[in-house]
Amino acid sequence: SIGTGRPLILYRPSRYPHQVPYLAPFFLVLSVEDLGAFLREEQKEWVSLAQRREARRSLLELGISFRGDAFAEAVVEGNTQAAELFLKAGLPADTRDKKGVPLLGLAVRTGNQTMVDLLLDAGAQIDTQSEDRGNSALMDAVAGGHERIARRLVEAGANVNLKSKDGQTALVLAVGRNSVELVELLLKAKADPDIPDKLGFSGRKYAKLFHNPEILALFEAHPPIQGS
């Protein structure tokens, strides 16, 4: 049962504050207030444990394993019900799949706004970078052309100047997609237009290379950041 293995509690008025050695393993409370506070914390833990067990049971009833990459598979498949149960069962929102891709990155790559919101609300770290590409969730959103998700991530405080394994920022990826909307979003969020990738090209240089008049106009409105 849930209470199995819980420590015994000794209540002793504060005028007897010292505990004899043979009772040292037990939890000692010195006032009714302390006892009440202790029991309230214990109740929270019991309820949380019961909820985790119930979530695991529900997953099994759905025929979903609690092992391996099952959580990641639920995210990729867009199974919000299962993803919610995995979170309730105690798995962290920052779990990665076998390739080292954070769940938030997987949700972004599939373009699933609902799953992205679920993971962010559950505390997923927004700037964690994947082990395969070195992309953050924002980079994946831009690379996939998911403007609404990119906007959500920017509004949630995503770092717009992180670099992937190729040295590319989200802004470089946006220029590469020829997306006026994403370039504008990132520049307004103070993305540095002059961070070079491994080839030595920055978002600004790629914009000049691709020569999209609308994108060039956006860069012209954002002069080089001092010190970049």
pLDDT for residue 85:
97
Indicate whether 85 belongs to any domain. Answer: no
Q: Which long-range contacts (CB under 8 A, 24 or more apart) does 221-227 make?
A: 221/187, 222/187, 222/193, 224/193, 224/194, 225/192, 225/193, 225/194
Indicate whether 8 belongs to any domain. Answer: no
Indicate whether 60 belongs to any domain. Answer: no
pLDDT for residue 180:
98
Indicate whether 49 belongs to any domain. Answer: no
Q: Measured between alpha carbons, how far is 214 from 41 in angstroms, rounded to an integer?
A: 58
Q: What percent of the chain has pLDDT over 90?
A: 72
Indicate whether 200 belongs to any domain. Answer: yes
Q: Which long-range contacts (CB under 8 A, 24 or more apart) does 126-130 make?
A: 126/153, 126/156, 126/157, 126/158, 126/159, 127/158, 127/159, 127/162, 128/94, 128/102, 128/104, 129/162, 129/164, 130/96, 130/99, 130/100, 130/101, 130/102, 130/105
Which residues in the chain land under pLDDT 70?
1-7, 9-20, 22-27, 226-228
Our count of domains for the chain comes to 1
What pTM was estimated for this model as a whole?
Answer: 0.81
Indicate whether 130 belongs to any domain. Answer: yes
Q: Measured between alpha carbons, how far is 82 from 113 in angstroms, rounded to an integer?
A: 16
Question: What SS3 string covers the chain?
Answer: CCCCCCCCEEECCCCCCCCCHHHCCCEEECCHHHHHHHHHHHHHHHHHHHHHHHHHHHHHHCCCCCCCCHHHHHHHHCCHHHHHHHHHCCCCCCCECCCCCEHHHHHHHCCCHHHHHHHHHCCCCCCCCCCCCCCCHHHHHHHCCCHHHHHHHHHCCCCCCCCCCCCCCHHHHHHHCCCHHHHHHHHHCCCCCCCCCCCCCCHHHHHHHHCCHHHHHHHHCCCCCCCC
CATH number of 188's domain: 1.25.40.20
pLDDT for residue 2:
47
Indicate whether 80 belongs to any domain. Answer: no
Indicate whether 146 belongs to any domain. Answer: yes
Q: Measured between alpha carbons, how far is 204 from 36 in angstroms, rounded to an integer?
A: 62
pLDDT for residue 4:
57
- Domain encompassing residue 192: 93-228
